[in-house]
Structure 1
Amino acid sequence: MRSDSEPTFTERARRAQILRCAIEALAEVGFGGASLAEIAKRAGVSKGVVSYYFAGKDDLLGHVLLDVYTRAGGAIGERIAQAADPAAVVRGYIEANLEFVGEHPADIAAVVEVAANVRKPDGSLRFAPQGEDPVLAQLEQILRDGQAAGAFSDFDARSLAIIIRGAIDTASGRIATDPAFDLDAYARQLVGTVELTVGTRS
């Protein structure tokens, strides 16, 4: 929304509705089919209304990513804040990530579509990771904190953080394409494998 004034409740609700419709369109018809006209139709508004809140399709899709990441981050942060020890923090981090994947398949599909298709003028992916990845850095710090507390064994925290994030991202893609994928079993196996690696079974 391009305005210097504080948005009203109605404006915030309309903006959230447009974001939700964009997510649903991306999940159901893909990046190519999720035009501003399609998103506007799903929201029951004109393209002009969408343009009032977002400065074009790329801006809207960038906010889709921000919306999903913010909600996922909140759920994960709430879970690990309740953990009683370093092992429970890591276990909660993995479980909360995978639970969000399982409970929000449309959101995950939308993120995959945006990340894989939105490009810069030079043709490179607009949302490809660049520089330090804050999500990876957070997980690496969690693992290092566990080592510093004497709860974990000696291992390379960054390498393990990359492995865990890769496993979570794999689940995100698998759940959208493999009807036989058992997310609960996958989560248990991943947690068990990581606990063996860090040297705790608490």
Structure 2
Amino acid sequence: MRSNSVQTSSNPTFTESARRTQIMKCAIEVLAESGYSGASLAEIARRAGISKSVVLYYFSGKDDLLSSVVFDVYGRAGQAITEALSHEASPGEKIAAYVRTNLHFLEEHPADIRAVVEIVSNARGSDGTHSFVPQGEDPVLAHFEQLLREGQDGGEFREFDPHHLAIIIRSAIDTASGRLVADPSFDLAAYTRELISVVELATGIHRSEESS
């Protein structure tokens, strides 16, 4: 979902990038406060202090804007995860850092997560199907699956089906997003500790007899 307006430029100016970021930030605020149905372009424009026509200069429409919000949030989360993994050496440490950083991002960016949950849950294509169902290989799942395979290849993890275990663990991470949105009493710190414990048990990290 791309438009022929300014966002297709391969070299947007600083002002263009700043304006796009401002509009997406206001879209996140409106989505977090008013939900998907309340996130009209007119309301987003009002929040940004600009006209609707300015929004449409940078985005081809509501679908384009909301898609950009989703990819922006996922992109920032991905950067945080990549940075965290770069400081870990073993597969087990990387897996724990992956889970911890994912869940920490949810905690630190509640409005972003609420906005993404609203978009992913409600946005539909012209045929009525959800707009954000992965087509083909899911790169987020594939990345985590590769981390699990590396642990097996190095002899640190037990034998298991890395694809299906990746689905199970990713589903547990994604479930936390909905819980944070729906349940103010949800204890993310406790959830993080328990999920990491579950992951360690599921992967069966091999330890030498000397260290056991």
Q: Identify the TM-score tier after normalising by the shorter chain.
A: over 0.9
Q: CA RMSD in A?
A: 1.4
**Unpaired segments of 5 or more residues in structure 2?**
208-212
Q: Is residue 158 of structure 1 aligned with residue 163 of structure 2?
A: yes
- The 1-side partners of 2:187 and 2:115 are apart by 21
CA distance, structure 2, for counterparts of residue 172 and residue 125 of structure 1? 18
Task: Give the aligned partner of residue 27 of structure 1.
Answer: 32
2:102 is the counterpart of 1:97:
yes
Q: 1:131-163: CA deviations, max 9, x gaps?
A: 211111111110001100111111111111011
Is the Cα–Cα contact under 8 Å of residues 157 and 206 in structure 2 kept in the other structure?
Answer: no
The equivalent of 1:69 in structure 2 is: 74
Within 5 Å, which residues of 2 pair with 1:34-45?
A: 34-45=39-50
The answer on whether the counterparts of 1:195 and 1:201 sit within 8 Å (CA) in structure 2 is no
Q: Does 1:2 align with 2:5?
A: yes
Matched length: 202
Further displaced range: 139-148 or 110-119 = 110-119
- Matches for 1:31-180 after TM superposition, within 5 Å: 31-180=36-185
Structure 1 CA distance for aligned equivalents of residues 146 and 116 of structure 2: 25
1:189 correspondence with 2:197 = no
> Structure 1: 5+ residue runs without aligned partners?
none
- Deviation track 1:17-48 (CA, whole Å, cap 9, x = no partner) reads 00000011111100110000000011010001
CA apart distance, 1:6: 2.9
Using structure 2 for the length normalisation, give the TM-score: 0.92
Amino acid at match of 1:179: P
Q: Structure 1 vs Structure 2: percent identity of aligned residues? A: 59
Taking the aligned partners of 1:29 and 1:55, their CA distance within structure 2 comes to 22
Q: Do the aligned partners of residues 201 and 171 (structure 1) sit closer, same or farther apart at CA in structure 2, a change above 3 Å counting? A: farther
Distance in 1, Cα, partners of 2:172 & 2:183: 15
State TM-score, norm by structure 1: 0.96
